[in-house]
Amino acid sequence: MDRIRRLAMISLHTSPLDQPGIGDAGGMNVYVIELSRRLAQQGIEVDIFTRATSSALPPVVEAFDGVQVRHIHAGPFEGLTKGELPGQLCVFAREVLRAEAAQPVGHYDAVHSHYWLSGQVGALARDRWGVPLVHTMHTMAKVKNDALATGDTPEPAARIIGEEQVVEAADMLIANTDIEAKQLINLYDADPGRVEVVHPGVDLSVFRPVEQAAARAALGLPQDAHVLLFAGRIQPLKAPDVLLRAVAELLAQTPSLRSHLVVPVVGGPSGTGLEHPESLAQLADELGLTDVVRFVPPVAQDELARWYAAATAVAVPSYNESFGLVAVEAQAAGTPVLAAAVGGLPTVVRDGHSGLLVDSHEPRDWAAALRRVIEDPALRVRLEAGALEQARKFAWERTAERTLEVYERAGALMAQSVS
């Protein structure tokens, strides 16, 4: 196919303009806007279609030069959960097709959809416009259900069916890591020839080394503290409770650490965590950690970078991560990461070099990992250097280049199927 000039990016259930860490906004939001920005820098016009969640939103917002976010009216602006959005797929798809129909014939050269809901719309657009569909799952129901957090709600059968349909319809599937590619092939019968691994990136101009003392002074943190940070959406899947229970275990073993320990939790309730938004604060109280834990609302990226720089270590104890943007962002700030050895995290975190991988979610195992970083300054220095080295492997510019190659391959495969 000819060079991509215009791209339709579909992100139905969450806008790339939303603040990550609030509601359903998270790593996917960062992925969509950062990838679109880098594609635009290569001369590609990108229209991002997302559902409007407020009457105050303008129909079109120019996010960057060459990147427009188009707000589609589909259902009530507020009050719809992600589980209720399948009922709005038809009207959302209709409005996307209507927006394209107002343009000259052949306006878009490809469609890139994100998450299964968007994939359903993308499949319809693909057939209507006669252009290739590339899809990125980000998360998969079968994988989530296989590694369900205690007390979390399984993904419904309707989502599984919807994902299977999108896998079958897409010309190419982008997996964040090798393990995600294998999951697509083994769990969803994806054609191996239509699956390509493209790692997400990190903005190295935002997430970069900053003097820890300066970052702590700006945030009002004690200079001599051991700062153990959790950043992300507060929900069972992300397992912030594992960090709190590990800290309680650590303090039970070594009470003298209490006066030098700060555990910031930066983020807001999301997903099933919205059902009991106060549960993590209640857990902190039950564990006797209210003097140690600090709850911080979601912050902008530049402020988040300061929190990473201020931390002794960043904990990512999730039950599953398709990639783990928090882990790579923290490493880009030169901060070691303690991560669960699940999903894409072993790809992002190099065990013993840029951080430590923990093979369980048991508080005792996490307490032991925390203790290693706290009590071994030489290890900490080595991990800090390794974190910076590891983060340099991930850059959005490289992600955009590889994604463009996938678009071109998708176009070639579509042309072969038509001929």
Sorted by sequence, the CB contacts under 8 Å of residue 201 that are 6+ apart come out as 34, 38, 328, 394, 395, 396, 397, 398, 399
Q: Known binding site for Mg(2+): residues?
A: 308, 311, 335
* Tokens coding 90: 């038809």
The one-letter amino acid at 75:
G
Rounded Cα–Cα distance for residues 36 and 48 (Å):
8
Can you spell out the DSSP letters for 87-155? Answer: GGHHHHHHHHHHHHHTSPTT--SEEEEEHHHHHHHHHHHHHHHT--EEEE-SS-HHHHHHTPPTTPPPP
Interstrand relation of 226-231 and 261-266 (parallel, antiparallel or unpaired): parallel
Rounded Cα–Cα distance for residues 7 and 386 (Å):
37
Contact 163, 116 (CB under 8 A): yes
Rounded Cα–Cα distance for residues 144 and 271 (Å):
13
Element (H, E) at 298: none
Helix (H, G, I), strand (E, B) or coil at 385: helix
Q: Known binding site for 1D-myo-inositol 3-phosphate: residues?
A: 13, 24-29, 82, 115, 139, 159
Q: Among residues 111, 127, 311, which one has the least CA distance to residue 228? A: 311
Which residue in the block uniquely carries the two structure tokens 């009216």? 73
Q: How is residue 257 annotated by DSSP? A: G
Q: Known binding site: residues?
A: 13, 19-20, 24-29, 82, 115, 139, 159, 233, 238, 299, 308, 311, 321, 329, 335
DSSP bridge pairs for 10: 49, 113
Q: Known binding site for UDP-N-acetyl-alpha-D-glucosamine: residues?
A: 19-20, 27, 233, 238, 299, 321, 329
Sorted by sequence, the CB contacts under 8 Å of residue 1 that are 6+ apart come out as 109, 132, 408, 411, 412, 414, 415
Rounded Cα–Cα distance for residues 3 and 404 (Å):
9
281 Cα distance to chain centroid = 24
Contact 68, 47 (CB under 8 A): yes
Contact 368, 254 (CB under 8 A): no
